[in-house]
């Protein structure tokens, strides 16, 4: 049965480079100013750390697939309007920074999948040398991410996509590189965040939150700030691992609680 569709506001798709993709936040139209009959959808992409100076991804399109029409097996893919295409260095998107990809309206109703379409101009930078990454045609056609949610008019939804660099960049036998994207998508309203600041901040540190079910990580930015978004509710062990060259010791924070829709600020953490 085809469902009745109203207008939905797809507010923004964002590309970011922290270690976890965040969740969807929901609020009603009285709070966010969305016009009656519309809904707002925000999508962000973030990045999990990897051992590279830079990781460039070539974003060419963002597409969505709604519910199938009557008599059809599946819905048709549609490109979003005004997508901010281009090359993005995932490792620049740290400390909670994100890059807007799209801001459009789509029909409200059942949203099945989002597809991130990459081009061929992807590369890693190691010791100052930029090395192209081969991108299989199947990856260029688009990485499908399941949403499978009924989007209501007048409600804002925010999705964060977590681009795992370490898993996505594959080293081949001839010292080449292949990009096979591994992305985790989550909705902000169903998760929480862990933020804080690491001192000294002259060097980049890896911050990781882990429990039996989830592992989410991010690097600190130039100011020592970090933000782990899209963290499922639960209790975590958080480790802060500085660059080995600093000689500083790793620090562990136990029993860090994350609640749905809340931000746990660990404040300033001092390395010794």
**pLDDT one digit per residue (tens) for the chain, 272 residues:** 334 344 454 444 555 433 232 333 344 545 556 666 666 666 666 555 556 889 999 999 989 998 877 777 788 899 988 888 999 998 887 767 777 887 777 788 899 999 999 999 999 998 899 999 988 876 667 888 898 888 888 877 777 777 887 788 898 877 789 998 888 787 777 889 999 999 998 888 989 999 998 888 888 888 999 998 889 999 999 999 998 888 999 999 999 999 998 999 999 999 99
Same domain (yes/no): 126, 177: yes
- CB contact set of 94 (below 8 Å; sequence gap of 6+): 17, 18, 218, 219, 220, 221, 226
Same domain (yes/no): 182, 226: no
Q: Please state the domain count of the chain.
A: 2
- Tokens encoding 240: 């802060």
Same domain (yes/no): 14, 125: yes
Q: What is the rounded radius of gyration, in angstroms, for the C-alpha atoms of the chain?
A: 19
Q: Is residue 1 part of a domain?
A: no
Domain that holds residue 255: 191-270
The count of C-alpha atoms lying within 13 angstroms of the C-alpha of 15, restricted to the half-sphere facing its C-beta, is: 23
Q: Which of 190, 214, 246 is the last residue of a domain?
A: 190
Q: How far apart are CA 89 and CA 29, in angstroms?
A: 34
Same domain (yes/no): 265, 171: no
Q: Is residue 230 part of a domain?
A: yes
Whole-structure pTM over 0.95, yes or no?
A: no
Task: Categorise residue 189: left if φ over 0, alpha if ψ from -120 to 50, beta otherwise.
Answer: alpha
């Amino acid at each position: 049965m085809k469902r009745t569709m109203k207008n939905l506001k797809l507010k923004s798709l964002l590309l970011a480079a922290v270690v976890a993709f965040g969740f969807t936040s929901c609020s009603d139209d009285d709070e966010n100013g969305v016009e009656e009959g519309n809904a707002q959808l925000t999508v962000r992409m973030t990045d999990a750390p990897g051992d590279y100076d830079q990781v460039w991804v070539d974003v060419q399109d963002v597409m969505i697939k709604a519910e199938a029409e009557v008599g059809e097996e599946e819905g048709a893919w549609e490109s979003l309007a005004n997508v901010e295409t281009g090359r993005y260095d995932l490792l620049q998107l740290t400390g909670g920074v994100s890059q807007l990809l799209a801001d459009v309206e789509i029909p409200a109703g059942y949203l099945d999948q989002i597809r991130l379409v990459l081009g061929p101009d992807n590369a890693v930078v190691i010791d100052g040398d930029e090395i192209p990454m081969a991108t299989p045609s199947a990856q260029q056609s688009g990485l499908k991410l399941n949403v499978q949610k009924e989007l209501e008019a007048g409600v804002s939804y925010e999705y964060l996509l977590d681009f795992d660099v370490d898993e996505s960049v594959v080293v081949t036998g001839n010292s080449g590189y292949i990009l096979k994207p591994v992305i985790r998508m989550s909705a902000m309203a169903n998760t929480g965040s862990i933020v804080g600041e690491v001192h000294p901040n002259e060097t980049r540190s890896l911050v990781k939150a882990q429990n039996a079910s989830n592992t989410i990580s991010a690097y600190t930015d130039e100011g020592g700030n970090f933000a782990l978004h899209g963290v499922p509710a639960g209790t975590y062990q958080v480790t802060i691992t500085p660059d080995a060259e600093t000689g500083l010791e790793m620090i562990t924070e136990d029993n860090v609680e994350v609640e749905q829709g809340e931000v746990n600020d660990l404040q300033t953490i001092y390395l010794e």
